[in-house]
């Protein structure tokens, strides 16, 4: 630091230097003017005689000399005034100068302090969009330790390219057009990859002549507000989905989509606890590596840890290892970098959990995400439970509708299909009673055969009705066991062989002796009997029916293929619907009730199998169904 005396001395020296330089410049200018006058007279540009030339030259020299003397006199007086100042005046002048400098320095410090402590980001950029000013908040946004580190650098040094591109385009538009931007929403990702929102205002920066030399920007952080708005939107959308979605799985999918708006949702699942079954199910799961988890008994996984404690847990690799070493949890599935699970509760009781996890980024979830997901889970717990009740009510309503349809179908069969054969029987019996003596033997035989067919038809109908009613009321016994397909099927095929032969139909089956299924014998026989009878009914004289069985992964697929009349696709879709099932006459005018295929469908469903049809009009049909290979 220099003393006051040294500062005064330096001030005087500076003034002396200024005065000396001014005098030197004036002398040089005077010499230059004299030279120019001499050159003018030596040239032919001024045409005068020698006497006139001498007088004019003298006049110009005198005029220049007077001007020089006047200027030097003024400079000398100013310099003399400075030298003649007494020590007190010089000291006052110096103090005033120092005071102004201190005020300027103090104002700069004050302005810098204010700018740095304003919670909003304040910055300035040049024409190339490089930082020329950055306050502390702006430095924090860029993850810079000091302003010196940021100055001269652009957004491309600190933000992802797509974000920096948007900033650069916006800044250049302001610089090129001179138009300000007021309160525009922008976003950036901080050093932890968290999305932050700013309400930004930018104005062009101009020099004293009004030329644009850059811009000044202010960014107010509105991340908290945006998150609050987003949470409200997410909860509203989930609530709306609970009312509009067709089933609860659609709601689970919607919950996943909405939570993914708040945080990383690449790996997400919902777990539900059924205390009665002592089972954890995973009705919805999306994961980069693991397949959806099968229902299981509660164990020591992280999911069970949340269900046991009823608390939200944020678990990184280090904590996971500690929990495993202590025996608190065990590894289930692929290890993750970070795991976040929150309980689903209703009336203080935990009934499930929502889990997000990340296999690559250990910073994907922090305390903020834990609090956020916990809040959302508290809100959607009621939504999930409400949706379950809505689905249960809809299911009961559907079951009541089906029961009514079943009742209507039952009475329709009794009123029509069961009545028809008895009407025929009454007709034939009346003829036999009234005209028996006069009837020829061939006529009597024909009537008796017709009555026999009607009796068998009525018996078959009654048999189906009884089976169907037992299924509907749950009174049909279901006793699955391991049976040999060929052995159990042979009896049914032998009974139907004559019926097929009467129409000239070839009935073949190609089944390996070793093929077995886990099924109820009586139901298996009923399924085969109804499907083959149906094939015979709709196959023309001279046609062919093939029965086959093929072993698949964990089940057996059985097929009955005929060369019959086939059916259009719209008819296929209605065959297994009780409200759409319509009986049709066979190729030999065989009667039917439409009950047979419905029975097959319900019996196959009882075995957790599937039944389907492939058919083409005029080319035949293929009825296939599956049964389990072993006991589930």
Q: What is the 3-state secondary structure (H, E, C) of 416-452?
A: HHCHHHHHHHHHHHHHHHHHHHHCCHHHHHHHHHHHH
Residue the block writes with tokens 């009555």: 451
- DSSP alpha helix (H) spans, 178-222: none
Q: Give CA–CA dist 358/378, Å, rounded.
A: 23
pLDDT band at 356; cut points 50, 70, 90 = very high
Say if residue 480's pLDDT is above 50.
yes
The answer for residues whose C-beta is within 8 angstroms of residue 536's C-beta and 6 or more apart is 496, 499, 500, 503, 505, 507, 545, 562, 586
Q: Give CA–CA dist 134/434, Å, rounded.
A: 117
pLDDT value of residue 91: 66
- As given in the structure block, the two tokens for residue 18 are 């200024």
HSE value, Cβ hemisphere, 13 Å, CA-based, for 213: 7
Q: For domain 118-226, is the CATH number 3.30.450.20?
A: yes
Extended beta strands in 331-402, E state: 338-346, 349-358
**Mean pLDDT taken over the chain:** 79
| 434 compared with 35, residue with greater pLDDT | 434
- As given in the structure block, the two tokens for residue 201 are 């205002």
Say if residue 357's pLDDT is above 90.
yes
CATH architecture of 245-395: 2-Layer Sandwich (3.30)
350-357 mean pLDDT: 93
Say if residue 2's pLDDT is above 60.
no
Q: Give CA–CA dist 476/469, Å, rounded.
A: 8
| Domain residue extents for the chain | 118-226, 245-395, 477-628
Q: Which of 63-67, 100-104, 172-176, 524-528 has the lowest mean pLDDT?
A: 63-67
Domains 118-226 and 245-395 share a fold: yes
The answer for residues whose C-beta is within 8 angstroms of residue 377's C-beta and 6 or more apart is 312, 342, 343, 344, 345, 354
Q: Give CA–CA dist 83/5, Å, rounded.
A: 16
Cβ–Cβ < 8 Å for 386, 242: yes
Q: Give CA–CA dist 375/352, Å, rounded.
A: 15
170 three-state secondary structure:
helix
Cβ–Cβ < 8 Å for 192, 153: no
Cβ–Cβ < 8 Å for 244, 358: no
Q: Which of 21-30, 214-223, 314-323, 341-350 has the lowest mean pLDDT?
A: 21-30
CATH architecture of 477-628: 2-Layer Sandwich (3.30)
Task: Provide, rounded to the nearest whole percent, the portion of the chain with pLDDT above 70.
Answer: 74
Say if residue 346's pLDDT is above 60.
yes
Q: 154-211 pLDDT, tens per residue? A: 999 988 888 889 899 999 999 999 999 888 888 887 766 677 888 899 999 999 899 9
Say if residue 523's pLDDT is above 70.
yes
Q: Give CA–CA dist 579/409, Å, rounded.
A: 8
- Give the end-to-end CA distance of the chain in Å, rounded to a whole number: 93
Q: 230-280 pLDDT, tens per residue? A: 888 888 887 787 677 677 788 889 889 988 888 888 999 999 998 888 999
- As given in the structure block, the two tokens for residue 241 are 């989905």
pLDDT value of residue 592: 55
Say if residue 422's pLDDT is above 50.
yes
Cβ–Cβ < 8 Å for 64, 27: no
Among 473, 458, 459, which residue's Cα sits nearest to residue 417?
A: 458
pTM exceeds cut of 0.75: no
Task: Provide, rounded to the nearest whole percent, the portion of the chain with pLDDT above 90.
Answer: 22
- DSSP alpha helix (H) spans, 556-594: 569-574
pLDDT value of residue 90: 58
| 615 compared with 53, residue with greater pLDDT | 615
Helix (H) or strand (E) holding 500: helix 485-502
What is each CA distance from 198 to 116, 479, 590, in whole angstroms? 17, 68, 79
C-alpha angle with apex 49: 48 to 51, nearest 5 degrees? 115
Q: Give CA–CA dist 212/190, Å, rounded.
A: 30
Q: 130-154 pLDDT, tens per residue? A: 999 999 988 888 888 888 899 999 9
Q: 573-625 pLDDT, tens per residue? A: 777 766 555 556 666 666 555 667 877 888 898 889 999 999 988 889 999 99
Say if residue 76's pLDDT is above 60.
no
Q: Give CA–CA dist 303/284, Å, rounded.
A: 14
């Amino acid at each position: 630091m220099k003393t006051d005396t040294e500062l005064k001395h330096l001030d005087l020296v500076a003034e002396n230097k200024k005065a000396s330089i001014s005098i030197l410049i004036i002398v040089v200018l005077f010499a230059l003017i004299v030279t120019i006058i001499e050159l003018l007279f030596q040239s032919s540009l001024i045409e005068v005689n020698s006497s006139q030339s001498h007088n004019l030259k003298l006049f110009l020299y005198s005029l220049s000399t007077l001007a020089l003397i006047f200027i030097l006199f003024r400079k000398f007086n100013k310099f003399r005034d400075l030298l003649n100042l007494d020590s007190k005046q010089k000291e006052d002048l110096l103090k005033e100068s120092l005071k102004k400098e201190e005020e300027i320095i103090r104002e700069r410090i004050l302005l810098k302090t204010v700018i740095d402590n304003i919670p909003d980001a304040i910055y300035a950029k040049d024409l190339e969009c490089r930082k020329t000013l950055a306050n502390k908040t702006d430095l924090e946004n860029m993850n810079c330790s000091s302003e010196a580190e940021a100055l001269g650098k652009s957004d491309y040094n600190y933000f992802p390219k797509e974000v920096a591109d948007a900033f650069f385009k916006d800044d250049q538009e302001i610089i090129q057009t001179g138009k300000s931007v007021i309160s525009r929403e922008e976003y950036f990702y901080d050093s932890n990859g968290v999305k932050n929102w700013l309400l930004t205002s930018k104005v062009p920066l101009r020099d004293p002549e009004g030329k644009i030399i850059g811009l000044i920007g202010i960014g107010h952080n509105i991340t908290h507000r945006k998150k609050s708005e987003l949470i409200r939107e997410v909860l509203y959308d989930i609530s709306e989905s609970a009312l509009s979605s067709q089933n609860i799985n659609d709601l689970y999918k919607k919950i996943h989509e909405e939570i993914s708006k708040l945080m990383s949702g690449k790996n997400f699942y919902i777990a539900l606890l059924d205390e009665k079954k002592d089972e954890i199910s995973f009705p919805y799961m999306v994961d980069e590596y693991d397949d959806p988890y099968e229902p299981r008994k509660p164990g020591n996984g992280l999911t069970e840890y949340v269900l046991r404690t009823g608390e939200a847990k944020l678990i990184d690799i280090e904590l996971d290892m500690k929990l495993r070493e202590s025996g608190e949890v065990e590894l289930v599935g692929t290890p993750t970098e970070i795991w976040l699970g929150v309980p689903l509760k209703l009336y203080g009781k935990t009934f499930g959990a929502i889990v997000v996890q990340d296999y690559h980024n250990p910073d994907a979830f922090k305390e903020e995400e834990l609090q956020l997901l916990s809040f959302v889970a508290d809100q959607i717990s009621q939504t999930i439970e409400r949706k379950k009740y809505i689905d249960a009510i809809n299911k009961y309503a559907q079951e009541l509708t089906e029961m009514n349809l079943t009742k209507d179908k039952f009475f329709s069969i009794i009123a029509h299909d069961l009545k028809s054969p008895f009407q025929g029987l009454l007709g034939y019996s009346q003829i036999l009673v009234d005209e028996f003596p006069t009837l020829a033997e061939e006529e009597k035989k024909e009537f008796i055969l017709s009555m026999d067919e009607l009796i068998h038809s009525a018996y078959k109908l009654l048999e189906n009705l009884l089976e169907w009613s037992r299924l509907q009321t749950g009174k049909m016994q279901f006793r699955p066991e391991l049976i040999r397909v060929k052995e159990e099927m042979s009896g049914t095929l032998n009974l139907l062989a004559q019926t097929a032969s009467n129409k000239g139909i070839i009935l073949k089956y190609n089944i390996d002796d070793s093929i077995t299924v886990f099924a109820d014998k009586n139901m298996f026989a009923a399924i085969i009997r109804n499907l083959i009878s149906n094939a015979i009914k709709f196959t023309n004289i001279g046609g062919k029916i093939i029965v086959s069985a093929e072993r698949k992964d964990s089940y057996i697929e059985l097929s009955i293929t005929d060369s019959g009349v086939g059916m259009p696709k719209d008819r296929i879709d209605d065959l297994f619907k009780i409200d759409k099932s319509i009986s049709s006459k066979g190729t030999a005018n065989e009667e039917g009730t439409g009950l047979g295929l419905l029975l097959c469908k319900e019996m196959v469903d009882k075995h957790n199998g599937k039944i389907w049809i492939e058919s083409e009009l005029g080319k035949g049909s293929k009825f296939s169904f599956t049964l389990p290979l072993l006991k589930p």
